[in-house]
Amino acid sequence: MTSVIDAGLVADQNARHHAQLQADYDALGGMLSRRGLDIEQLTALAQTFAVAVPSWGAGTGGTRFARFPGRGEPRNVFEKLEDCAVIHQLTRATPSVSPHFPWDKPTDTAELRETARALGLVFDAVNSNTFQDQQGQDQTYKFGSLTSNSAAVRAQAIAHNIDCIEIGQGIGSKALTVWVGDGANFPGQHNLRGALERYLDSMREIYAALPSDWNVFIEHKLFEPAFYATTIADWGTSFACATELGPKAKCLVDLGHHAPNTNIEMIVARLAQFGKLGGFHFNDSKYGDDDLDSGSINPFQLFLVFNELADAAKREGDAFNPAYMLDQSHNVTDPIESLMSSAVEVQRAFVQSAMVDRVALAGLQEQNDVLEAAQTLKRAFRTDVSPILAMARVRLGAAADPVACYRASGYRDRVAGLRPVKPGASSSGIV
């Protein structure tokens, strides 16, 4: 496996951190053992954590107002993979990449799969795209795709999703994520029930094309690009459709796709209870689908989501295995730095959720000792597990401080020289 960053530099950087890290680790170990927790066990658990990186997150994102391209933008899927390999080399927490088609459509799937393998990466769920019209496309998606009242438009959208499954099989993926922006901007623009009926008819054809060991993830979103009614607007509609379609259909929760103050951890608990929690798009937001770095605005919510995941895993054991993926837009930061620190923030919530004393919590809930029950969760969230996460990385040959190591490597300067900025061109497809 090729190391994109010089392994010697990573070792040097880690050597500088060693004494301080060991001291912090021992201090935390002492505190945790007084709470009956074994830091070595938690560090080993941290090393099992993995979250997929969105290929489209490796380039600079933007909004409808503007996109300010960064230096050394990846110009194709191969350069995106190289950047994703840097993220995994320095965090050892992101072994897989979730591609988006046609943005990442390869001419040769074997070459793409082999390039990823050589970089120590595999492919997670593939994402279809019927929310944009591509050059030379026959039918427009202006008035919807899988829900369009035009059979020709629906057929085109269905064919695209089936094409994504075929490419996905070629690169070793096992799931298709279907997010459609279909909806209406005006009351009366379309028949609300008719749109969902057409969606289900289209999804039944896509479902029928799934290999036996594949899943299809339905991703709901409250609004945007539709601003009055979105066909798959909430978890209830997604759940009803996944149930209607069959066992290979599951629901994907993008944290930014809900109304402000929605209790997302409760949605996670519900979908897990009914066996329909397929996966996540982790990010953070303050207002809408802001696609900000995970844990950057509301880390307690991220912790509470993982607290529900830990509860579900305790109930269902290894069979409980939702797909973890990031889905972010990096408008003002270096995407590699944001993706590394976001992966670490999701890993942090994962480790903190494992420190919750679930037996004590159940007892306190039984006794309606409300305050102590709430404090039992807060105690885990308040614990700074940074030494555990850093030690887990160092022991796996990754960086004690990924961002500092990345900056010391000069990688961005190097690729900036190799990848001239194409003015106005968007590498990720998102404006």
Residue 289 CB, shortest distance to ligand LRH, in Å, is 5
Residue 82 is a binding residue for ligand LRH (CB under 6 A):
no
Residue 255 CB, shortest distance to Mn ion, in Å, is 9
Residue 103 is a binding residue for ligand LRH (CB under 6 A):
no
Binder of residue 49, out of Mn ion, ligand LRH, none (CB less than 5 to 8 A by kind)? none
Task: Return the number of other C-beta atoms located less than 10 Å from residue 416's C-beta.
Answer: 15
Residue 124 is a binding residue for ligand LRH (CB under 6 A):
no
Residue 281 is a binding residue for ligand LRH (CB under 6 A):
yes
Residue 285 is a binding residue for ligand LRH (CB under 6 A):
no
> Which residue lies nearer to Mn ion by CB, 73 or 254?
254
Residue 18 CB, shortest distance to Mn ion, in Å, is 38
Maximal CA-CA distance, the chain: 66
Nearest CA to 215 out of 245, 240, 253, 239 is that of 245
Binder of residue 348, out of Mn ion, ligand LRH, none (CB less than 5 to 8 A by kind)? none
Q: Which of 327, 334, 345, 401 binds ligand LRH (CB under 6 A)?
A: 327
> Which residue lies nearer to ligand LRH by CB, 113 or 281?
281
Q: Which of 25, 49, 123, 179 binds ligand LRH (CB under 6 A)?
A: 179
3-class secondary-structure state, position 92? coil
Report the alpha-carbon distance of residue 396 to residue 90 in Å, rounded.
10
Contact footprint for Mn ion (CB under 5 A): 254, 281, 327
Report the alpha-carbon distance of residue 289 to residue 254 in Å, rounded.
9
Whether the CB-CB separation of 387 and 25 falls below 8 Å is answered with yes
Residue 79 is a binding residue for ligand LRH (CB under 6 A):
no
Residue 178 CB, shortest distance to Mn ion, in Å, is 11
Report the alpha-carbon distance of residue 257 to residue 285 in Å, rounded.
9
What DSSP string describes 18-86?
HHHHHHHHHHHHHHHHHTT--HHHHHHHHTT---BEEGGGSSB---SS-----TT---SHHHHHHHHHH
> How far is the CA of 140 from the CAs of 102, 143, 148, 152, 399, in angstroms?
15, 8, 10, 10, 47
- Residue nearest ligand LRH, CB atom distance: 179
What DSSP string describes 134-184?
PTT-SS--TT-STT-S-HHHHHHHHHHHHHHHHHHHHHT--EEEE----EE
Residue 250 is a binding residue for ligand LRH (CB under 6 A):
no
Residue 334 is a binding residue for ligand LRH (CB under 6 A):
no
Residue 265 is a binding residue for ligand LRH (CB under 6 A):
no
β-bridge pairing 122-123 and 96-98? parallel
Residue 283 CB, shortest distance to Mn ion, in Å, is 8
Residue 219 is a binding residue for ligand LRH (CB under 6 A):
yes
Residue 254 CB, shortest distance to ligand LRH, in Å, is 5
Judged by the rule CB under 6 A, the positions of this chain that interact with ligand LRH are: 56, 127, 179, 219, 221, 254, 281, 289, 327
